[in-house]
Chains A and B, each alone.
Chain A
């Protein structure tokens, strides 16, 4: 996927002025956090589970090579194939190669962020293989030719009215006077349109929420059952997943599943949790003839052992963005690439380079809400700060900010000068602002005063007043 992360400020500006988006975000802010609270409120051991989840993933990351090989052995033993892809290009070619070998004309797709990361849809389409998204949200944005704006709710930036408009525009074979008032009728319409596509698809592509090393199993969770139809009906099931999805055992997967849906949507469990091990066996009533796993690195192994390793614990629940006040103000598209919100502010620079995503780690108040709700306890603000450090070292931060900070540091390390400067500033600003109490305009502070007043100082610095008082006492 092409990145517009460097245009973050412009993207955010547009997002703030987009009425549809703002009304969709109002709904999101009111929904997800409360549902999560209700769900974890019913699970007294939730905090212990978070700790357990963190330990499971840390253990995997410390022994990733071993578990990956174990996973490959067990996939092969079950009759499947594992393909290793270092780059998005390698992954795309591997998938295209498999589609070609099977003579595939259409592929159905379950929701997968890795496919977004490697730009799979546009690539397959250009190569003459038609990809069809089957998750309702993904289906909607595919019709609109938009990228997802959220990792678990890809169409959350849209209102019901916009979806209805899109359906009327694209589904021209249906009666124009049909009633699409109810969300349910929109779901039914998408289901009708997709049914035939499920049956005709040659290949089904899904992502994986977890890859289980001890059994060679891939796991997906969905709420619509579309993933099951995608992976069971066609000739072949291709799983495309990144390296860090590995967990050692079924028990580990079960522990993480208990965290996932509660953190994501506030459900105890997603409606469907599907475990896939190898292709259809002789005694199976159904299933794909072939089972392939394309394992993508795309820079993740380089994070191992770095200050960003913790990011690889992420299980893609979306809790960080659901609770982020910045995401809540501008939505996901403003972040400009596949992964938005706090996890994107760390993962995007990790995968496409900090020079291409300079704003993302800076566009945070460090309020810490993301880390407090992360089921894997990923220290997101800390890692954003580490990216700010890289920007500082590489001189990527704006020259004005650098100059300002150097000036500040010069003063902060010279206390007498600092206090002199503060005493003067307090007096001058205090005098100028005395009548109103606030400034409506203040030179050099336009970024602040364009939308809010700047309170005026009381007129004397604390240090000045305190030391006068101490002198008087001593006298």
Chain B
């Protein structure tokens, strides 16, 4: 269903709840990157959430209702791109499972899933982008968010692209593949366990000596930024700037880092 008036593929941006509410700058960075990858971007105004909160809480009926709406809104695009491995994984890996007992919808879910990509995987693997025109002066470390990593294979793409950012030095994070303890509702259902996990993660981040922490999922980023900041106020930990990887790759770092006030 490509747009016959344009040679450029049409991308539907699935914004995600957390980007929509907390950090629109990530959405605009994603738009810029997708456009630089040679596509046009549209943002369906009727989109809401991917349905994951209900799906992972056992409420299949509500999750399926939300999934059907999302499918309707996005099935007309050449690609669906999501600046989150978690929400991207929901659409790409779980919609078909969720709608498996409903053959017509299962088929539609499958068609959308095949065209859905996490942002890094899309620009790097699908569009072949190998360089970005951005500059970032700092030592950066990178956390691999679980769903992106294990459901969608997002690992080398952000690193490859970060390698092309002028002035940026990447310092690998030991235990980068270990969960930060966010886990959606997990972090409020089991706050003590979640805190233990994010504390270990924050200590690993601080030990790298990097001044910036990047990742590809707002949930994990808010969890880690919140913990790093608390450790700074309460234990004098070194300040760490926390950002979504898309902001750095798009060269859009004017907004203060996550959890920080403007100058």
Contact = CB atoms under 8 A, between A and B. Distances in A.
Contacts of A454: 222, 226
B59 interface: yes
B242 to A, nearest CB: 8
A436 interface: yes
A119 interface: no
B146 A462 contact: no
Contact of A408 (B49, B69, B256, B261): B49
Contacts, number: 212
Interface string B159-179: 000000000000000000111
Contact of A451 (B177, B227, B261): B227
Interface residues of B, number: 73
Interface stretch (A43-51, A171-179, A386-394): A386-394
A352 interface: no
A13 interface: yes
Q: Is the interface of B mostly helix, strand, loop or mixed?
A: helix
Contact of A367 (B21, B179, B200, B222): B179
Interface residues of A, number: 67
B106 interface: no
Nearest to B57: A405
Interface stretch (B74-82, B112-120, B130-138, B181-189): B181-189
A365 B22 contact: no
A12 B189 CA distance: 12
B221 to A, nearest CB: 8
B126 interface: no
A273 B234 CA distance: 53
A368 B147 contact: yes
Interface in B234-258: 255-256, 258
A425 B21 CA distance: 7
B47 A415 contact: yes
B88 interface: no
A457 B193 contact: no
Q: Is the interface of A mostly helix, strand, loop or mixed?
A: helix
Interface stretch (B4-12, B23-31, B32-40): B23-31
A461 B20 contact: yes
Contact of A389 (B47, B60, B177): B60
Contact of B48 (A397, A411, A436): A411
B54 A457 contact: no
B48 to A, nearest CB: 4
Contacts of A412: 48-49, 51, 62, 66
Contacts of A452: 195, 198, 223, 226-227, 229-230
A126 interface: no
Interface string A352-375: 000000000011111111011000
B150 interface: yes
Contacts of B209: none
Contact of B225 (A9, A393, A418, A455): A455
Contact of B193 (A12, A415, A426, A437): A12
A330 B186 CA distance: 15
Given A363-B190, A448-B188, A467-B45, A405 B62 contact: yes
A390 B230 CA distance: 37
Contact of B58 (A368, A382, A390): A390
A435 B262 CA distance: 8
B43 interface: yes
Nearest to A422: B21
Interface string A423-443: 001100000001111101000
A447 B66 contact: no
Contacts of B200: 329
B139 interface: no
A401 interface: yes
A197 interface: no
B193 A329 contact: yes
Contacts of A325: 178-179, 181, 197
A339 to B, nearest CB: 18
B207 interface: no
Contacts of A450: 191, 195
Contact of B151 (A365, A368, A413, A451): A368
- Closest 6 pairs between A and B when the two form their complex, measured CB to CB: A365-B183, A392-B58, A388-B58, A437-B261, A455-B259, A367-B179
29 contacts: A12-B192, A325-B181, A363-B186, A363-B190, A365-B183, A365-B186, A365-B194, A366-B184, A367-B146, A367-B178, A371-B150, A392-B58, A405-B57, A405-B59, A406-B62, A412-B48, A419-B45, A422-B20, A426-B20, A440-B230, A448-B187, A452-B227, A453-B226, A453-B227, A455-B226, A455-B259, A456-B22, A462-B43, A465-B24
Given A411-B48, A466-B43, 4 more contacts: A366-B183, A369-B150, A413-B48, A455-B229
